[in-house]
């Protein structure tokens, strides 16, 4: 491309500006990608679900709450021991979680539990030498219903519908954003190719990549060290732990990607200077 | 030559990108400020200075010790417990009652032992004490109590003995049964009634009333 002196002088500031804009677009694109990967993919959420020991904590909480309920009915809390099948509970929890992506309501079958709790309550009363009057039968039905309600509550992931609606909105927004950002990134990179020599292009793309990487690395590192996500005041415990793990995985991915970006920009700089020299 | 190249690369990696970085932080801060500020405020509601405590272990200040009757105890020796603190033991050997006494009577506390209503008084203040326990566990033995039985409350500052003078079954809403306005040290221990029958709602309370017969006054 024929260039006069004025044009030559203009090239460098334009290249810097383009590189600056390129780094902003790259940062936004990577941030959207990271949030999508860590918060909205089935694999990532299930991984965090396992890492947070969600099933065990929720099961302990279920047992504790059930004991609280049953004790109000004058029944010994030992009746709750081994009442819940851990495998079934895990299956129900995972089924409930999976419904975010399948978009179908997961039905919890509590008929076996209903039979079991009623049998245990009847046995308890027989052992106490008591007659099952109509009034006592009402108590049995009511207590077992409360236990089943507690089971269904605990085996359904809280805030599920809110999460699903956020995910749907985010995905829609992300699809458009990715498209727009992708087109802009390609356009600006092509512009740099037309503006500069090959070695200089590597240099300015390197600047954009390094800027974006440093930006994410420093920010993620700050949040990781500050650990604000570990102090989040949300109950119950299993949801809190799940959120902490999700937050931690998100920051980790930011850090890994930014380190990769720094490495790649190092390579681009090396290439740029090496070509210049040769 | 190679060292020079590395130096150049390192400079390129740090100077321009970090300068851009600072500009971008500023750019993001000023352009997204209207969005970031409410987000920071919202985060302030959800994030505190320390991690949330999920532990259910209740505090304890009670230490087992022998007391000689001192007559009075200075107020300065009495540690007022926080809610959920195990601060005394309540015993009545004839019926096999020996349980922890906590300050407060939430469901969590009642699963651990007997719980004292925090609107009532600590032993030694010459005012009524209101103590609850579950009918199937903690306070199950009180169904066998009779008038004249002795109930001991052991605290860190003294040992108090109460003599049962009345046992009654009353409605849970009967405020007179739980009258805390009296100006004598009455121990009111209660549990759901009946003791072993599974009922949907237990509206009756089994109440044991005791009068203090020994133990130091708080001055």
- Domain boundaries along the sequence of chain A: 5-49+161-277, 53-154
Tokens found for residue A55:
């099933």
* pLDDT, tens digit (0-9, with 9 covering 90-100), for B158-214: 999 999 999 999 998 998 999 999 999 999 999 988 886 676 567 899 999 999 999
pLDDT digits (tens, 9 = 90+) for A146-174: 999 999 999 998 888 888 888 888 888 88
Does residue A222 sit at the B interface (CB-CB below 8 Å)? Answer: no
Does B23 sit within 8 Å of A20, measured CB to CB?
A: yes
Helix, strand, coil in percent for chain B, rounding step 5: 30, 30, 40
Cα(first)–Cα(last) distance of chain B, in Å?
Answer: 89
Which two three-digit tokens encode residue A144?
A: 């077992």
Torsion of CA B163, B168, B170, B174, to 10 degrees: -40
Q: For chain B, which residues make up each domain, given as ranges? A: 1-50, 72-218
Q: Which whole number is the average pLDDT over A107-124? A: 92
> Strand pairing of B129-132 and B186-193?
parallel
Tens of pLDDT, residues A175-219: 889 999 999 999 999 999 999 888 889 999 999 999 999 999 999
What contacts B26, CB < 8 A, 6 or more positions away? none
- A146 to chain B: closest CA residue: B200
Categorize the per-residue pLDDT at B39 as very low, low, confident or very high, splitting at 50, 70 and 90: confident
Angle at B54 between CA A57 and CA B122, to 5 degrees: 130
With CB atoms and an 8 Å threshold, state whether B12 touches A128: no
A187 touches chain B (CB under 8 A): no
| A265-274, B153-162, B167-176: range with lowest mean pLDDT | A265-274
Q: Check CB contact under 8 Å for A262 and B13.
A: yes
Output b/e per residue, A82-97; b: 16+ Cβ within 10 A. ebbeeebbbebbbbbb
Residues in contact with B31: Cβ distance below 8 Å, sequence separation at least 6, in sequence order: none
Tens of pLDDT, residue by residue over A35-47, are 999 999 999 999 9
Whether residues A215 and B25 touch (CB distance < 8 A) is answered with yes
Q: Do the Cβ atoms of A74 and B54 come within 8 Å?
A: no
Nearest CA in chain B to A218: B21
Nearest CA in chain A to B42: A232
Could you give the percent of chain B with pLDDT greater than 90?
A: 58
In chain B, DSSP assigns E strands to 72-73, 85-92, 97-103, 114-116, 129-132, 150-154, 159-171, 186-193, 204-214, 217-218
B16 contacts in A (CB within 8 Å)?
A: 16, 207, 210-211
The per-residue pLDDT for A1 is: 46
Alpha carbons B88 and B76: distance in angstroms, whole number: 18
* CB of A46 less than 8 A from some CB of B: no
CB-nearest partner of B197 from A130, A218, A277: A130
Best residue of B20, B45, B135 to probe chain A, by most A CBs closer than 10 Å:
B20
Say whether residue A231 is in contact with chain B using an 8 A CB cutoff. Answer: yes
ipTM value: 0.80
How far apart CA B23 and CA A43 sit, in angstroms, is: 36
Alpha-carbon distance of A86 to A91, in angstroms, equals 9
At residue B89, φ and ψ (nearest 5 deg) are: -120, 145
Q: Are A210 and B17 within 8 A, CB to CB?
A: yes
Query: Residue B205's pLDDT is what?
Result: 94
Query: Per-residue pLDDT for A276 more than 90?
Result: no
Counting residues of chain A whose pLDDT is more than 70, the rounded percentage is 97
Query: Which residues of chain A are within 8 Å of residue B198 when distances are taken between CB atoms?
Result: 73-75, 121, 124-125, 130, 136, 139-140, 143
CB B48 to CB A270 under 8 A?
A: no
Which of B48-52, B79-83, B117-121 is predicted most confidently?
B117-121
Average pLDDT over residues A241-267: 95
Let me know: does B114 contact B132? Beta carbons within 8 Å.
yes
Q: Which residues of A touch B139 (CB under 8 A)?
A: none
How would you classify the pairing of strands B85-92 and B97-103? antiparallel
Q: Residue A157: which region, alpha, beta or left (left: phi > 0; alpha: psi -120 to 50)?
A: beta
pLDDT tens sequence across A207-251: 999 999 999 999 999 999 999 999 998 888 999 999 999 999 999
CATH homologous superfamily of domain B72-218?
A: Sortase (2.40.260.10)
pLDDT in tens, B108-146: 898 889 999 999 999 999 999 999 999 888 999 999 999
A74 with B9: Cβ contact below 8 A: no
Residue A73 contacts B where some CB pair is shorter than 8 Å: yes
Other Cβ atoms closer than 10 A to A217: 19
Report the first-to-last Cα separation within chain A, whole angstroms: 22
Calpha distance B160→A232 (Å, rounded)? 45
Pairing assessment for the beta strands B204-214 and B159-171 based on DSSP bridges: antiparallel
Mutate to test the interface with B, among A52, A72, A235 (most CBs of B within 10 A): A72
Residue that wins the pLDDT comparison between B68 and A264: A264
Partner residue facing A266 (CB), from B9, B16, B49: B9
Query: A151 to chain B, minimum CA–CA distance in Å?
Result: 19
CA distance B202 to chain A (A): 8
Which three-class secondary structure state does DSSP give residue B164? strand
Q: Hey, is the C-beta of A12 within 8 angstroms of any chain B C-beta? A: no
The angle that helices A198-226 and A160-195 make with each other, rounded to 10 degrees, is 150
């Amino acid at each position: 491309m024929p260039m006069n002196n004025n044009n030559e002088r203009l090239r460098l500031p334009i290249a810097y500006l383009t590189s600056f804009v390129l780094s902003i677009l790259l940062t936004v694109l990577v941030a959207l990608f990271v949030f999508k990967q860590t918060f909205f993919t089935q694999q990532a959420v299930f991984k965090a679900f396992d890492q947070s020991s969600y099933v065990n904590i929720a099961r302990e909480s279920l047992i504790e709450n059930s004991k609280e309920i049953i004790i109000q009915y004058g029944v010994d809390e030992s009746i709750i021991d081994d009442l819940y099948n851990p495998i079934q509970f895990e299956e129900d929890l995972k089924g409930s979680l999976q419904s975010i992506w399948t978009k179908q309501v997961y039905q919890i079958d509590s008929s076996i539990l209903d039979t079991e709790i009623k049998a245990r309550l009847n046995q308890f009363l027989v052992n106490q030498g008591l007659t099952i009057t109509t009034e006592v039968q009402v108590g049995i039905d009511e207590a077992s219903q409360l236990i089943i309600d507690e089971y269904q509550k605990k085996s359904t992931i809280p805030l599920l519908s809110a999460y699903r609606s956020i995910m749907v909105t985010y995905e829609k927004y992300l699809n458009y954003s990715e498209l727009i950002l992708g087109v802009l990134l390609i356009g600006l990179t092509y512009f740099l190719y037309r503006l500069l020599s090959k070695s200089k292009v590597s240099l300015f793309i390197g600047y954009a990549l390094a800027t974006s990487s440093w930006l994410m690395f420093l920010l993620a590192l700050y949040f990781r060290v500050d650990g604000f996500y570990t102090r989040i005041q949300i109950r119950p415990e299993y949801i809190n732990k799940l959120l902490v793990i999700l937050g931690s995985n998100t920051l980790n991915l930011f850090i890994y990607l930014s380190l990769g970006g720094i490495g790649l920009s190092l390579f681009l700089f090396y290439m740029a200077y090496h070509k210049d020299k040769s | 030559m190679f060292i020079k190249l590395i130096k150049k690369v390192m400079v390129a990696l740090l100077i321009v990108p970090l300068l851009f970085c600072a500009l971008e932080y500023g750019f993001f801060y000023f352009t997204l400020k209207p969005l970031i500020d409410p987000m920071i405020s919202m985060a302030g509601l959800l994030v505190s200075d320390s991690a949330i405590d999920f532990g259910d272990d209740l505090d304890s200040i009670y230490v087992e010790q022998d007391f000689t009757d001192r007559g009075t105890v200075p107020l300065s020796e009495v540690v007022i417990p926080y809610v959920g603190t195990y601060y005394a033991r309540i015993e009545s050997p004839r019926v096999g009652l020996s349980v922890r006494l906590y300050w407060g009577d939430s469901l969590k506390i009642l699963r651990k032992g007997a719980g004292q209503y925090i609107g009532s008084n600590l032993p030694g203040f010459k005012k009524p004490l209101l103590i609850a326990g579950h009918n199937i566990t903690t306070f199950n033995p009180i169904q066998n109590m009779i008038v004249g039985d002795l109930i001991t409350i052991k605290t860190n500052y003294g040992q108090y003995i109460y003599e049962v003078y009345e046992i009654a079954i009353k409605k849970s809403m009967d405020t007179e049964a739980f009258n805390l306005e009296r100006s004598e040290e009455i121990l009111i221990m209660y549990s759901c009634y009946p003791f072993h029958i599974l009922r949907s709602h237990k509206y009756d309370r089994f109440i044991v009333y005791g009068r203090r017969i020994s133990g130091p006054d708080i001055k």
